[in-house]
Structure 1
Amino acid sequence: MKKRYLIPLILIALIAGAFAFLRTPMTDPSAMEAKYANEASEFVEGPNGLRVHYRDQGDPDGVPIVLLHGNSASLHTWEPLVRRLGGEYRIITLTLPGHGLTGPNANRDYSFKGMAEALDLVLDATGVDSFVLGGNSMGGWISWRYALAHPEKIDALLLLDASGMPLREGEEEPPLNLAFRLLGNPAGRLLLRHFTPRVALEKSLRETVSVEDFIDDAMIDRYWELYRIPGNRRAAGDRFLVDREPGYAERVGEITAPTLLIWGKEDQVVYVTAATTFDERMPNAEVVIYEGVGHIPMEEAPDRTAADIDAFLDRVLKPASETP
């Protein structure tokens, strides 16, 4: 009888020990803030203890551009554009709830409404009420949804490999990177909440892009460490289950603001054909496709991305009196 109970107890102890040994620990939020905030970093507090990390950089008298990052990223993804466009534009970037130094939302609301509330906090803090809004991937989805909800605030729209459009006829779902594949099932979501080895984050990042030259050890460390801030891993699973309300894709034609669509032709997260769908549905859109670029053009091709954005905004925001 004793052996009958002893063996299961030993197995349970071995499993518990292996779990404790292999489990990827959380990072310390204070240490992460010391490492990944800078002199431009500010924080604005909202309801339920929400504390949004943002940066207000560039020319304070320039046209404001507000930029929203994609899933599992942070405001750091926009720094290449800040360096290239900050001499002429005021550039406001923020880290969305469930990501980076902003951390999780206590109410676990990562819907459009929850993300828009964080954006509104930053807009109120910076005193901006009319601006250019841009976003990559998930941030692009939030951007065009926000333009639908608040057209009076949007001077122009920048959509970089933005999500939210349906697949075109005959298309299959994109292959997705390792992290998204794991988040697609309950076991994978549970696994990622406890086991997130650095190599897995690196693999996911490299599978997301086509140009890999900009990826270095410091960047991989940043993704890995910020992902492990308490609550962020759980938030990643929550976001995967959010209702993206696909019906709103039928309404993008209501957006009249001038819109620039920038897409990497090799994007395997949101196919380049989505740019065609946006263009067909939006009355004032224009498209630029980058050969050999994947899902993150502002980091894979920052010079070209900055130049195209600058030329577009110079053209569409120029007062009529200055038009030749």
Structure 2
Amino acid sequence: MSNFAKTLRWAAVAALALTAVGVAVSWAPDVPVAQLEARWAPPPSQFITVNGQRVHLRDEGPRTDAEPIVLIHGTSSSLHTWDGWADGLKAERRVIRFDIPGFGLTGREPGQDLSVPAYAEFVKAVLDQLGVQRAVVGGNSLGGEIAWVFGVRHPERVSRLVLVDAGAYPFPLDTMPIGFRMATVPALKPTVRWLMPPGTIENSVRDVYGDPSKVTPELVERYRAMALRAGNREALFERFEQSPIGALADEVKQVTQPTLILWGLKDKLIPPAHVDRFLADIPGSQAVRFDGLGHVPQEEDPQATLAAVKAFLARPL
């Protein structure tokens, strides 16, 4: 055997070895939801059935509240992102939050529509199930887009809107965290339920925080657990396929509810310049910007962001 042939053989062996090592360190198959519930769904979590789907939900605070506060999380997040707000509100207000289909512990049903209009109808179905006729509705990122679309499609059900770094307008895909960018590559879909390269979750979470030093191991563990919930990684691909970024932007002008816009000025995903677009499109809306916060300001600094919400809710309609 010539030296060249030997070199090729060893190169092939080395490549196979490196591939095997890469697969081994990235191996992270789906986790059945039953294995996650004990850790991530203790009381006050409950599971309700909505249109035949088992939904993870927390419903806290006085049932006498005439207009509960409904909070909707964003892409690859969960109802836990609102823990700080719920803790600060539930003594006086009824606070309802849930994992939307495709994410958190709710997961998704086979073939379920994950477009933003379908999510808006899901919110309506949850509120119908709970007997809530009218609510203050808030949301972050994708959840913010769902909130205002729900307000447009069902204005009689929404008294006020709170939009936190909300989706609406187009923005460049290259600003997405690594985990989201991977979900826009269709070729990765067949293997995504088995592999998760080391650091993917931590780097993605650090990307959406204004101060990455606030990202704790416990926070990374939570996001990783939600990502590994059986079916969620595949659903992420379909969420991006079914909900093109900015597809509903023209509808923002149809929002009629009093609206508070909160934004972290260190948001690297959705540009802070979108605040001015919301203010221009929603008459009478108001905005509060936070210098040191990123894309999930309600999670990064619940105390400061909730203070702005409480001031907004205290104003008469």
**Alpha-carbon distance between aligned partners in 1 of 2:18 and 2:204, rounded to the nearest angstrom:** 27
AA partner of residue 39 (structure 1): P
AA partner of residue 54 (structure 2): R
- The Cα shift of 1:174 comes to 5.3
| TM-score between both structures, scaled by the size of structure 1 | 0.86
Q: Is the 1:279–1:286 contact (alpha carbons within 8 Å) kept by the matching residues of 2?
A: yes
How many pairs are equivalent? 304
Matched, 1:56 2:59: yes
Q: Is the 1:202–1:220 contact (alpha carbons within 8 Å) kept by the matching residues of 2?
A: yes
Match of 1:280 in 2: 280
**Alpha-carbon distance between aligned partners in 2 of 1:228 and 1:245, rounded to the nearest angstrom:** 24
Q: What are the residue-to-residue correspondences of 1:11-90 with 2, within 5 Å? A: 21=24, 22-47=26-51, 49-62=52-65, 63-90=67-94
Report the secondary structure of 2:248's partner residue.
Answer: helix
**Alpha-carbon distance between aligned partners in 1 of 2:177 and 2:191, rounded to the nearest angstrom:** 16
**Alpha-carbon distance between aligned partners in 2 of 1:114 and 1:29, rounded to the nearest angstrom:** 23
Q: Is the 1:108–1:235 contact (alpha carbons within 8 Å) kept by the matching residues of 2?
A: no
**Alpha-carbon distance between aligned partners in 2 of 1:174 and 1:245, rounded to the nearest angstrom:** 13
Report the secondary structure of 1:194's partner residue.
Answer: coil
**Alpha-carbon distance between aligned partners in 2 of 1:121 and 1:150, rounded to the nearest angstrom:** 12
- The Cα shift of 1:230 comes to 1.2
| Cα 1:116–1:266 shift into 2, 3 Å | same
Q: More deviation in 113-122 or 14-23?
A: 14-23
Match of 1:125 in 2: 129
Matched, 1:150 2:189: no
Report the secondary structure of 1:100's partner residue.
Answer: coil
Q: More deviation in 130-139 or 217-226?
A: 217-226
**Alpha-carbon distance between aligned partners in 2 of 1:130 and 1:114, rounded to the nearest angstrom:** 19
**Alpha-carbon distance between aligned partners in 1 of 2:237 and 2:251, rounded to the nearest angstrom:** 28
**Alpha-carbon distance between aligned partners in 2 of 1:107 and 1:29, rounded to the nearest angstrom:** 19
Instruction: List runs of 5+ in structure 1 lacking aligned partners.
Output: 1-6, 318-324
Q: What are the residue-to-residue correspondences of 1:77-226 with 2, within 5 Å? A: 77-166=81-170, 175-197=175-197, 199-226=199-226
AA partner of residue 42 (structure 1): Q
Deviations 1:224-243 (A, max 9, x none): 11211111110011111113
Superposed structure 1 runs of 4+ greater than 6 Å apart: 13-20
| Cα 1:230–1:247 shift into 2, 3 Å | closer
**Alpha-carbon distance between aligned partners in 2 of 1:221 and 1:121, rounded to the nearest angstrom:** 31
Q: More deviation in 212-221 or 294-303?
A: 212-221
Q: What are the residue-to-residue correspondences of 1:191-270 with 2, within 5 Å? A: 191-197=191-197, 199-244=199-244, 246=246, 248-270=248-270
Instruction: List runs of 5+ in structure 2 lacking aligned partners.
Output: 1-8
AA partner of residue 215 (structure 1): V
Match of 1:3 in 2: none
Q: Is the 1:211–1:294 contact (alpha carbons within 8 Å) kept by the matching residues of 2?
A: yes
